[in-house]
Amino acid sequence: MEKIVIQVINPNTSQAMTETIGRAARAVAAAGTEIVAVSPTQGVPSIEGHFDEAIAAVGVLEQIKRGREQGVSGHVIACFGDPGLLAARELASAPVVGIAEAAMHMATLVATRFSIVTTLPRTLVIARHLLQQYGFERHCAALHAIDLPVLALEDGSGLAQEKVRARCLQAKREDGSGAIVLGCGGMATLAKALTQELGIPVIDGVGAAVKMIESLVALGLSTSKHGDLDYPFAKPLSEAFSHLN
């Protein structure tokens, strides 16, 4: 079996979060899989709304292009809004998986309905739109926000982690859900312990997406270049974006 290299792209520029995400990816990667955790050279330190997502999407594309040049086997977009997902699929030749879709897909395999626990209330609309686009509206029983910003997960205090835990417990008790999806790349390392403590699947999308990429590669499947995910037409991009050409 040939070696697999998976580029895990943290769409924000927070180095601490890139490391958290890389750690979570490596913890579940197969023996023959190398994880390359990267983040954009330019962008936004955390992603907490559509504006942040629009900026992050360009950073994702910058890294997709780099990964493609390096010949990676697949790409993971490690932010729960899956920013730039379809654009990345156009640009990439290898498969691309977002952590929100990966976590949601996995959740439907182990429970009839799941709950989502994310960071800020203002990001709930993003999760709702993804549920609709991916087809999982009926599989999601409830969405929760801990009402702390994304970077609180990296402040070392443990407060955000404790709030995530409390919300997961509440969701288990009240939602009638069989599983919980963690709604932020920065929560990736919490899934395992919470799964054990709660006794139900608590799903991190980073790990889920890594396994999805490994699966697609093993199956010989990659983004279809027939139709609407074909490579972008070659065009003269303005200077600020010429690195994407």
Give, as ranges, the residues between 111 and 150 that touch a second copy (CB under 8 A).
Answer: 111-113, 121-125, 129, 132-139, 149
Given 16, 108, 148, 169, the residue binding a second copy (CB under 8 A): 108
User: In DSSP terms, which residues pair with 36 in a beta bridge?
Assistant: 7
Min dist CB 113 to a second copy, Å, is: 8
| Position 234 contacts a second copy (CB under 8 A) | no
Binding piece for a second copy, criterion CB under 8 A, among 15-23, 101-109, 160-168, 181-189: 101-109
The CA distance from 236 to 245, in Å, is 8
Q: What residue has token string 């890594």?
A: 210
- Return the closest-CA partner of residue 97 out of 230, 220, 240, 207: 207
Do 4 and 67 contact (CB within 8 A), yes or no?
no
- Return the closest-CA partner of residue 169 out of 183, 180, 154: 180
Min dist CB 20 to a second copy, Å, is: 17
Based on CB atoms, which residue is closest to a second copy, 55 or 117?
Answer: 55
Based on CB atoms, which residue is closest to a second copy, 164 or 171?
Answer: 171
Min dist CB 129 to a second copy, Å, is: 7
Q: What is the residue-wise DSSP string for 7-52? A: EEE-SS--HHHHHHHHHHHHHHS-TTEEEEEE--SSS-SS--SHHH
Q: Which of residues 163-202 bind a second copy (CB under 8 A)?
A: 172, 176-179, 191-192, 195, 199-201
Min dist CB 177 to a second copy, Å, is: 7
Given 3, 71, 156, 235, the residue binding a second copy (CB under 8 A): 235
Site size for a second copy, by CB under 8 A? 98
For residue 168, what are its two tokens? 């997961």
Q: Which of residues 57-76 bind a second copy (CB under 8 A)?
A: 57-58, 61
- Return the closest-CA partner of residue 172 out of 189, 195, 139: 195
